[in-house]
Structures are given as structure tokens and as C-alpha cells.
Amino acid sequence: MNTALYPWQQGVWQQWQTVLASGTWPHAILLAAESGTGRGVLTRQLAEVLLCQNSETQACGLCHSCSLLKAGTHPDYHQVAPAEAGKQIGVDAVRQANRWAMETSQLGGCRVIEIQYANRLGEAAANAVLKTLEEPPAGCFYLLTTDSTDMLLPTIVSRCMVWRQPEVSAEVLEQWGYGQGLALHSDLARLYRHSPLKLLDDAGVSAETHQEVLRLVNQYLQPPYLGMTECVKALEKAGAEGLYWCHCLLMDVLKYQQGVGCDYWFHQEAQQTVVAVAQHVNTHVVIAQLTALQQLQSALSLHTGLNQSLMIAQWLTEFSKGDVSVS
């Protein structure tokens, strides 16, 4: 048990320790894990071990290397990441990393280069990474992280040992949330299995706001179709997360309409809401609105300055333009 890690990371960590103990750590690894799973914490632990002067499997925390890492001044540890959130990693940053890779270790050990958000490498940058991975410099370890391996050049993936963060179980998440003082209901735990740390940041996620959004959406989608303004306000307040909840609710509705049992739904505690919506919105409207929602989410995440409330209102209006009532 590594107490610096989240409970869902212990499995990958144990496997890493086995490889480290065997003395066959590869020159490049790729960790595929959603950005809200704390993947940086995991790679940081690994970098500490690789650079530690006293231990092969667990950083001692006492040596010169461990002290420098703690102080954030280790000369053999380099990180590459997009300069701004949502932006790509440019080729210049990778060229700089490649120069570090060719240098001699300043502490006489190895060098570690961590490329965060490898899925955001621009084309030239990805080719520059590939060139180094094809002829890895001696004593240099590359740690790459990505949301998904699908977004990377297959030639980069094939040159790395790939590790995937297994999906976090709702039970583990609920238990962890309890320890963090979060009042999670099990629906919320199921909604955040892919990126649990979102529950900690200030993204407007709480059991109350989630329940309120569900209540207002449910009310608006049933005769007499009232409360559009409140619904828009609640969704705007909950931001990207509110739209994500709508996506999951509509996915559950679709599953219900197709006869998929509630064990496979996100909303199991709120299954009455799922059934109520499913009885008032036709399947073809659900599918069309899921597609429209995806476009709305993408537009709002890519462009700032859009009229969010107007766009949400337009999306909600589309429900009534379709054949809303089930005959």
C-alpha cells in the first residue's frame, strides 16, 4: 500500500513494483488514464523511485535525489505539458526534451522525462517524440500519460509499455469520498468513476446540484412542460458537469427504452426519473438530443464567450419540437 496514491491506483503501482524489482524497467511507458484520476501522482511516485539513489522499488525520501525532487529542483527530472489548458504541445517543447534526453545525468543516475497529455502532441511534436523513442538514449526514461491510446500515433504506442488505469468501482469511490468528507450518493459515484478527482475540484459538483438538475429536467420534459427558465439556470450553474449529467440521464433513458436493466444505468437511485423521462420522450428524440448535446458540449468547451444560457435553452426547446409525447 502506497499511502501517497489513491486507492484505485494501488493495483497499477503493485505491478510497477514487480517490474522495477526485476530490474527490467522499459525506456518508455505510456499510462492511459483519464485526467481526473490523479495520474500525475502515480507518475510522480514512479519518477521518485527511478531517480532515488537508495532504492529500486520505493523512494527512500532521504537521499540527495529525493530531496531535490521534493524541492522541485531535480536537474534530471523534466516535464513537458501543454503551455495552456486545452492547447497542444508544440514541437519546440519536445525538441528541448530531446536535448535533455541526450545530456549526461547531472547526479550520475538516470534522467526522467515526463510527457503529460501526450494525446495533445501536435503532429511535428509527435514525430519528434517518435524519433527519440525509436533510438532511446541510454539511461533516460520516458513517462507518457494520455487520456486514451486512441488519440496517439500507433507507432508511439507500440514503442511504449502501455498501462491502463482500470475503471474505478463505485464502491471504492464511495468509500474514498466518505474519507474526503464528500456526501456522495451512489449515482454520483457511478457518474464519476472515470474521473473521481472532479468531485474534489470546484466544478459545481455536489449531490444537491445533481439532484436539483435532475428534478428540473424531469419536470420540464413532462406535461405541462414547465420550468424552462429554472432548468436553464440550474444547468448554467452546474456548467459542463450539468450537461454531462443530462448526457448520462439520456443514456439511461435510452437503455430503459431498449430493455437494458437498471444495473447498467448511471442513475440507479434516481431510476424513477429515468423511467418518467423515458415515458414522455420518444427514442428518436432521445437519440437526436444526445447528438445535439454532444455538439453543444463540444462548442462550449472549445469556444469561450458563447451565450451559454441561450444555447442551453435552444437545446431544451428541441425536445418539444420532436414528437415528445409517447402515444
Written as one string, the DSSP assignment of 214-271 is HHHHHHHTSTT---HHHHHHHHHHHHHHHHHHHHHHHHHHHHHHTT--GGG-S-STTH
Least separation in angstroms between CB 138 and Zn ion:
22
Q: Which is nearer to Zn ion, 63 or 292 (CB)?
A: 63
DSSP conformation class of 2 = -
Whether the CB-CB separation of 240 and 297 falls below 8 Å is answered with: yes
Question: What dihedral angle (degrees, nearest 10) is formed by the CA atoms of 83, 142, 44, 164?
Answer: 100
Q: In the complex with Zn ion, which residue's Cβ is closer, 68 or 91?
A: 68
Mind spelling out the 3-state secondary structure of 96-152? HHHHHHHCCCCCCCCEEEEECCHHHECHHHHHHHHHHHHCCCCCEEEEEEECCHHHC
Alpha-carbon gap, residue 243 to 107, rounded angstroms: 49
Beta carbons within 8 Å of 217's beta carbon, 6+ residues apart: 231, 235, 246, 249, 277
Give the nearest distance from C-beta 1 to Zn ion in angstroms.
19
Nearer to Zn ion, 13 or 192 (CB): 13
What residue type is 247 in one-letter code? H
**Cis geometry, peptide bond prior to residue 224 (ω within 30 degrees of 0):** yes
Give residue 91's Cα distance to chain centre: 24
Q: Point out which residues bind Zn ion (CB under 5 A).
A: 52, 54, 60, 63, 66
Minimum distance, C-beta of residue 69 to Zn ion, in the bound complex (Å): 8
- Cβ 53 to Zn ion shortest distance, Å: 5
CA 125 – CA 146 distance, rounded (Å): 15
* Placement of cell 484520476 in the chain: 37
When the beta carbons of 63 and 324 are compared against Zn ion, the nearer one is 63
- Least separation in angstroms between residue 136's CB and Zn ion is 24
Closest to Zn ion by CB, 60 or 207:
60
Least distance (Å) between residue 31 CB and Zn ion = 22
> To the nearest whole angstrom, how small is the minimum distance from the Cβ of residue 165 to Zn ion?
26
C-beta of 48: minimal distance to Zn ion in Å? Answer: 7
**In terms of CB distance, is 54 or 106 closer to Zn ion?**
54
Q: In what order do the strands lie in the sheet with 77-80?
A: 77-80, 111-115, 140-146, 28-32, 161-164
Q: Which is nearer to Zn ion, 52 or 249 (CB)?
A: 52
Q: Which is nearer to Zn ion, 11 or 61 (CB)?
A: 61
How is residue 306 written as a grid cell?
458563447
